[in-house]
Structure 1
């Protein structure tokens, strides 16, 4: 493939998984770990130890063998504490019970990370609705779990240390934390939710089962809703969405001007972040779509991703700089066993109906095929060598793709030469 990745490892899962059953987190020492839940109540951890890949089935407490894991998510409590949330459904005859199990709520985050203690330290939260997407966000200085449900609502779960029991439970007043989610009269449940905060402004995007899409801009300190956009143009369930920046956080300039904006114009670099926040949407029926410059334009400038509807439903979207040009490419995973890679490139001038001119468009840079439908795509440094791996969860396993080391060495050499030229000009 053009981006020069090769599949280095594959881990078979105990049973099939789904689009909500993947999460990754980074500990204080820089080690990344991946957790993947299987539908038949198993959780697999994939990590590197001493540069060797290790896959382990973790025996999380109170997950019955006949229970179905719906979603999994995790976040770090600095320096070494981890909270893991797992939603599950247990069928008992004609009765059905739903739970959110939270692991690690009583573990001291200052202690060394220990899987044995984590999997046994659990707190069950009974649910009276079907769970869907489980994610997390930092609100009012605290990390919280956000869970969308079949009751067409989003539920927020947080620690209550003031109870002296470190209890983890649902917040009674969602409007206190996310007012933008409280005045939405939804017809169906929320399938995906993403939250991003830039310079005190919180951007929240969510997509629903009927194709409804909502984007809001909120002043984070006062929780005042500044602006809201809604769209019903998508025909079919919104399977995935992601807020992303045009440039990576490593550098804001191009390769030829590495570090220039950060060194000479830090204020300009921050303004560029505001203009370059975009939203990519994956739909079960239609083309995947990118909404450009959502901080300024909301949902007014959609750009479809060509050919993204030709390999069955789009199930996963993410943004990652996989060709090391300091700009994020878009990776689209489909049920048709394909991963599509898109790049924002110069194109022939196209005049729109409103008279505007498009000088750039998203072009299909590359695509490659897997043996199973693609459910989740992530780009993290699992091996700890400073070079990220492309981690893909498919219907039956975890695929790890690594960069070609010779190309990485040559790229690193060019970067060092550019850095030397900038810092020590002749």
Structure 2
């Protein structure tokens, strides 16, 4: 438990942080040194945001929504021959000045269609009545499909009959083999609402969710977080976390659509985040890094065992489910394609800094294996890595490798290439504003040179590495971003 102290005449958090230090020791020096980022910029917002208030818009832009109805676009642009961060308010139409924004999301339309789509939910307070709305912004004029200023003026305004929560987008299979991206919106009516584009009318319409998402019917409680992951063979994993602590997971055949298998567990507190992920990153991997697994009855319920080979297993990989809640320890359910939700692993100490508000799974150290990031109301960002335990030397588990303190609660985190140099930045939304963290260019450049040198040794005739016996050295040749060899000018 965290005790909050307030002293007359001292409105700052100094005494609060002092109290925290007595309960939970601050980072040791080695943990501080392990933090792989340097802060490049901080943008303070006029009012606070929430856990649904940050999204990526296009390739190199972020949209952050504040509770007072303001939407800020964050990007890097060249000013005076230097790349500098710029935070600019975007005037989205049909959002009243007294509105309170609940959630925001954006996506690029699936090919062959073109255009950026932005969705914003808000509640308009009319004094005696609060009315919720969903605004969907999309510009169909040729040449303006990705112009954010033009998109903000092209609005479809939908009045809602429920209080909105998370606004989420995902890609679905269409008739004829095409793909389309849709909005899913959870609400306090214990339902998920589907919004799909009507191409002939140039607008989005609500459609019955069971047509495309049969797993999202008859939900046990209000859904606070939703996530989906497409699998080879036209299947997907869908998961949701509820206000009553229920976590649902389903394996779905998208072509029918049909639920092939489903699982549920009940925890003791509201679920703040659910995330589906594979430990292997998108970087090229060697055979030593890919888990060899047996045929799964969940992923292939009707398929014969003949014809199943390791290459197919490498394509599908091993999938996991991260679950965080407001009180309990964060959990990773391992190998859900084989075990469902019967193999939980607890992320130790993740419950020591108040409620967990957000999470992200990305490869931060360029080793081909993703790390788990957790943001807490207790102003801490935690990083866990799947590795061998130091005392056992054999068993592999998730261990905390570093943590970073902030001056306000961590609401949302995302990882994208804002500068366009091929090296991604970590964007962290807190109660007071937006932090942009960049990889250390010197250490990243050293890593690139090390990997290139090792790759050159592999390609050299007669080298021990070329014999193929040293799988660990081969595993270290995961490609790092090429652009780090030529870092951009400092901001």
Using structure 1 for the length normalisation, give the TM-score.
0.89
In 2, Cα distance between the equivalents of 1:206 and 1:244?
14
Does residue 192 of structure 1 match 2:235? no
In 2, Cα distance between the equivalents of 1:330 and 1:425?
39
Does residue 315 of structure 1 match 2:357? yes
> Measured at CA, do residues 272 and 359 of structure 1 come closer, stay the same or move farther in structure 2, by a change above 3 Å?
farther
Deviation per CA, 1:7-31, whole angstroms, max 9, x where unpaired? 11000112100001110133xxxx4
Deviation per CA, 1:349-403, whole angstroms, max 9, x where unpaired? 98xxxxxxx9211111000101110011111111111111111000110001111
Deviation per CA, 1:302-359, whole angstroms, max 9, x where unpaired? 1110000000000011111112211000000000000000011112798xxxxxxx92
> Where does residue 355 of structure 1 map in the other structure?
none
Structure having the higher Rg = 2
Q: Secondary structure at the match of 2:437?
A: strand
> Measured at CA, do residues 185 and 157 of structure 1 come closer, stay the same or move farther in structure 2, by a change above 3 Å?
closer
> Where does residue 272 of structure 2 map in the other structure?
239
In 1, Cα distance between the equivalents of 2:219 and 2:324?
22
> Where does residue 264 of structure 1 map in the other structure?
none
Contact 1:72-1:87 at 8 Å conserved across structures = yes
> Where does residue 413 of structure 1 map in the other structure?
449
For structure 2, which runs of at least 5 residues remain unmatched after alignment? 1-31, 174-178, 293-308, 463-491
Tell me how many residue pairs correspond in the alignment. 400
In 2, Cα distance between the equivalents of 1:46 and 1:376?
15
Does residue 366 of structure 1 match 2:399? no
> Measured at CA, do residues 286 and 109 of structure 1 come closer, stay the same or move farther in structure 2, by a change above 3 Å?
farther
Cα deviation, residue 113, structure 1: 2.4
Contact 1:48-1:54 at 8 Å conserved across structures = yes
Does residue 8 of structure 1 match 2:40? yes
> Where does residue 158 of structure 1 map in the other structure?
196
From 201, 204, 211, the counterpart of 1:176: 211
Deviation per CA, 1:35-89, whole angstroms, max 9, x where unpaired? 0100000001111113321111000001111000000000012575100000000
> Where does residue 388 of structure 1 map in the other structure?
424
Cα deviation, residue 220, structure 1: 1.6
Does residue 328 of structure 1 match 2:370? yes
> Where does residue 137 of structure 1 map in the other structure?
170
> Where does residue 156 of structure 2 map in the other structure?
123
In 2, Cα distance between the equivalents of 1:127 and 1:223?
27
From 79, 82, 96, the counterpart of 2:130: 96
Does residue 252 of structure 1 match 2:280? no
From 54, 68, 82, the counterpart of 1:22: 54
In 1, Cα distance between the equivalents of 2:289 and 2:259?
37
Does residue 49 of structure 1 match 2:81? no
Cα deviation, residue 111, structure 1: 4.7
Contact 1:281-1:317 at 8 Å conserved across structures = no
Does residue 36 of structure 1 match 2:64? yes
From 289, 296, 302, the counterpart of 2:331: 289
In 1, Cα distance between the equivalents of 2:391 and 2:314?
23
From 203, 222, 225, the counterpart of 2:256: 222
> Where does residue 97 of structure 2 map in the other structure?
65
Deviation per CA, 1:126-166, whole angstroms, max 9, x where unpaired? 100000010000112210000001000000001112xx321
> Measured at CA, do residues 425 and 191 of structure 1 come closer, stay the same or move farther in structure 2, by a change above 3 Å?
farther
In 1, Cα distance between the equivalents of 2:459 and 2:387?
30
Cα deviation, residue 112, structure 1: 5.9
Using structure 2 for the length normalisation, give the TM-score.
0.78
Q: Secondary structure at the match of 2:49?
A: coil
Contact 2:144-2:150 at 8 Å conserved across structures = no
Q: CA RMSD in A?
A: 2.1
Q: Secondary structure at the match of 1:125?
A: strand
Contact 2:212-2:254 at 8 Å conserved across structures = no
Q: Secondary structure at the match of 2:64?
A: strand
> Measured at CA, do residues 196 and 321 of structure 1 come closer, stay the same or move farther in structure 2, by a change above 3 Å?
same
For structure 1, which runs of at least 5 residues remain unmatched after alignment? 262-266, 351-357
Does residue 378 of structure 1 match 2:414? yes
